[in-house]
Amino acid sequence: MIEWIEILEMLAVVMASLAVVIAFAVLVGFVRRMIPKEPSTKLEPTKQKEKLIMSKDTASEGVTFNDIFMFMIAVPLVLLWVGFAGFVIHSGLQDDSVLEQIEGYTTLIAILGGPALLIIKDALDVWKQEQAEKTAFYKVKAQAVIDYNDHAQKQSQMIEAKQQEQEHKMESKK
């Protein structure tokens, strides 16, 4: 039977490997952002400007540092904490000697859980703030689209009214 220390060691190795993979992905993402993209010369200049503006809008909507921070810190920490607590419960149901030392295990879970909860709370606060900013941005953007559509509709109605007025003038002159 594998002892709990060996299981924790394997879990730590898996978490460290996962952290290295995530760190590599973050590094690749930052390097991609740093390398400037050359605009295509096949498009007309106005199309290039429109494409550039659209790419800037979509770039700001991508994955941010805070999103990565949430998944690099919060997820592994919570999984480790919950996994260890589940392991203690499972071991306690299988082995009576674990129940005799349950105070030590619960102390260890509390020691892991205290900092985990503080870090998770801070990370969640930062993430919630960022999400609120994104929501506010989308509200402003949606209102701008609504205003644009309203003005475009009014303009087309005004053009149509002027055309009808011009047609009436032309008919009355005949």
Residue 128 domain flag:
yes
Residue 83 domain flag:
yes
pLDDT at 112: 75
Residue 17 domain flag:
yes
Range of the domain at 78: 4-132
Other Cβ atoms within 10 Å of 21 Cβ, number: 10
Asked if residue 19 lies in contact with residue 72, where contact means CB atoms within 8 angstroms, the answer is yes
Model confidence over 48-94: pLDDT tens digits?
555 555 455 544 557 777 777 777 776 777 777 778 877 888 788 78
pLDDT at 47: 53
Residue 172 domain flag:
no
Total domains present in the chain: 1
Q: CA–CA separation, 167 vs 164, rounded Å? A: 5
Phi-psi region of 36 (alpha: psi -120 to 50; beta: other; left: phi over 0): beta
Residue 159 domain flag:
no
Total number of residues shown for the chain: 174
pLDDT at 88: 81
The larger pLDDT score, comparing residue 155 to residue 70, is at 155
- HSE, side-chain direction, 13 A CA sphere, residue 127: 15
Q: CA–CA separation, 87 vs 12, rounded Å? A: 14
pLDDT at 146: 95
Q: How confident is the model at residue 10 (pLDDT cuts 50, 70, 90)?
A: confident
Model confidence over 93-147: pLDDT tens digits?
788 887 788 888 888 788 778 877 877 788 788 889 989 999 999 999 999 999 9
pLDDT at 45: 55
